[in-house]
Each structure stands twice: as structure tokens, then as C-alpha cells.
């Protein structure tokens, strides 16, 4: 039987403050695809991610994640298939270790608890000093916060990543490490918002959300 697409969006319309931020957007993303969303500010890139996560209820249209339609009933299961890294991550208060451990206390993530043993290895991989684990999250720089948020997402071991400008606060070397991590993972579906055209994969798709916000494949 043919595997359903990782994400399928049918005629999605989202209105915010009376304005159509997304207007009848339709797209399909297959498992393992790497997709970059570009477009000017306010064209609905983040809104699209928020709709996929169920943070915004669409005015029209449907969203399917691995064949499951996003509804108030299914949203709780659907979210356990996604990993989200916000542009300016706010992971809550506490030290970094507590922040990384907290999602593992949720019932849906009990099976991922063993992944916490990967924290030192991931810190090394993303060039973060291990001493940061005992530091307060609020004292971290923007780039450190971004990498901690990425590590938190990786620990959840999801198959679909929604990355909202995940490297905007990183230097060139750190940015390259992040991009290479996703390049080497063919099993992961990655949706990445970027102003600059990041190169995650040689076969990556670039979708420009233009003023009409219907989405144009480039």
C-alpha cells in the first residue's frame, strides 16, 4: 500500500484580523523531503507552521499529517509526529538540563526518555559546551538557545521537523553543522522557513509563499 504523504494541505485559508494570510494554499510533502519556505515577512510562513501544529484553526481547508486529518480530537496524536523549533525559542524557565528533561515527563514521550543519554553527544556535535547544561536558560545567547531548542527537538525522535529560521542566530560554522545534520538524515521530513536560501539537501524543494499566499514551487 502506498505510504501517505508526510504532510498534505488542501485549500488552506487562514484569516487573521480580517486579512487572508494564507489563501487556498494546497501542497503535498512526501516522506523524507526537505522543503524550504521562503517569502517576504508577513506572507504566512510562520502562520502555516502554526496551522500545521493546530495553534491556529483554519478558516477553510484541511491538513493531513501522515494521512491523519488534523481535528480537535486528532491534534494531540498528530503533534507527537512533529518536532517544532521556533524562530526565537521560548522553552520556559529553569536550567538547560531541566528544560531538556521536561518533555520526557509527558505521557506521549515516555518511550523517548532513553534519548536523554544522547545529550552529551549532541552537545558536542552542535559545539555547545557541556557546562551549559547547568546554566539557566535565560542566561544563554540567542545562538545557544537555538541549538538547545534543536537538541530538544532531536531528542523527541520525531519524523517530521518544522524549523522556523533555525539558524538565524548562528555563525557560519554552527549553521553548517545544523544543515549537515539534516542532510544526512534521509528518513526525516524537514520543513524549514528561511529568508536566506538554506541548502539542506541537493534535492530540496523551495516553496515561495508569495503575496497571494498560495505557494509557488521554484
Residues marked as catalytic: 165
Question: Does the footprint of other proteins cover residue 56 (CB under 8 A)?
Answer: yes
Look at strands 189-193 and 34-38 and give their pairing. Answer: parallel
Does position 95 interact with other proteins (CB under 8 A)? The reply is: no
Q: Is 106 a binder of other proteins (CB under 8 A)?
A: yes
Task: Give the binding range for other proteins (CB under 8 A) out of 83-91, 169-177, 196-204, 206-214.
Answer: 83-91
**Interaction of residue 109 with other proteins, rule CB under 8 A:** yes
In contact, 157 and 178? CB cutoff 8 Å: no
Structural element, H or E, at residue 85:
strand 82-85
Tell me if 35 sits within 8 A of 207, measured CB to CB: yes
5 lines the binding site for other proteins (CB under 8 A) = no
142 binds other proteins (CB under 8 A): no
CA 157 to chain CA centroid, Å, is: 12
Q: Which stretch binds other proteins (CB under 8 A): 21-29, 40-48, 78-86, 165-173?
A: 78-86
Binding residue (CB under 8 A) for other proteins from 89, 145, 198, 209: 89
- Contact between 152 and other proteins per CB under 8 A: yes
Give me the sheet containing 68-69, strands edge to edge.
Answer: 19-29, 7-16, 60-65, 68-69
Residue 136: DSSP 8-state: B
Is the separation of the CB atoms in 91 and 98 below 8 Å? no
Name the site residues for other proteins (rule: CB under 8 A). Answer: 53-57, 72, 75-76, 79-80, 82-84, 86, 88-93, 102-103, 105-109, 152, 156
Amino acid at each position: 500500500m502506498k505510504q501517505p504523504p508526510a504532510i498534505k494541505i488542501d485549500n488552506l485559508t487562514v484569516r487573521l484580523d480580517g486579512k487572508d494570510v494564507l489563501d487556498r494554499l494546497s501542497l503535498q510533502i512526501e516522506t523524507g523531503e526537505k522543503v524550504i519556505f521562503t517569502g517576504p515577512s508577513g506572507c504566512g510562513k510562520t502562520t502555516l507552521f502554526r496551522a500545521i501544529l493546530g495553534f491556529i484553526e483554519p478558516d477553510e481547508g484541511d491538513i493531513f499529517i501522515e494521512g491523519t486529518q488534523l481535528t480537535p480530537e486528532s491534534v494531540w496524536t498528530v503533534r507527537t509526529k512533529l518536532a517544532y523549533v521556533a524562530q526565537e525559542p521560548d522553552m520556559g524557565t529553569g536550567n538547560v538540563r531541566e528544560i531538556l528533561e521536561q518533555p520526557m515527563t509527558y505521557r506521549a514521550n515516555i518511550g523517548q526518555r532513553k534519548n536523554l543519554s544522547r545529550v552529551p553527544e549532541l552537545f558536542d556535535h552542535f559545539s555547545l559546551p557541556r557546562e551549559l547544561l547547568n546554566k539557566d536558560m535565560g542566561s544563554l545567547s540567542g545562538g545557544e538557545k537555538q541549538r538547545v531548542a534543536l537538541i530538544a527537538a532531536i531528542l523527541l525522535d520525531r519524523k517530521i521537523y518544522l524549523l522556523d529560521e533555525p539558524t538565524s542566530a548562528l555563525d557560519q560554522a554552527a549553521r553548517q553543522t545544523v544543515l549537515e545534520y539534516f542532510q544526512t538524515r534521509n528518513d526525516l521530513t524537514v520543513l524549514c522557513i528561511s529568508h536566506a536560501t538554506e541548502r539542506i539537501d541537493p534535492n530540496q524543494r523551495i516553496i515561495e509563499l508569495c503575496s497571494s499566499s498560495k505557494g509557488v514551487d521554484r
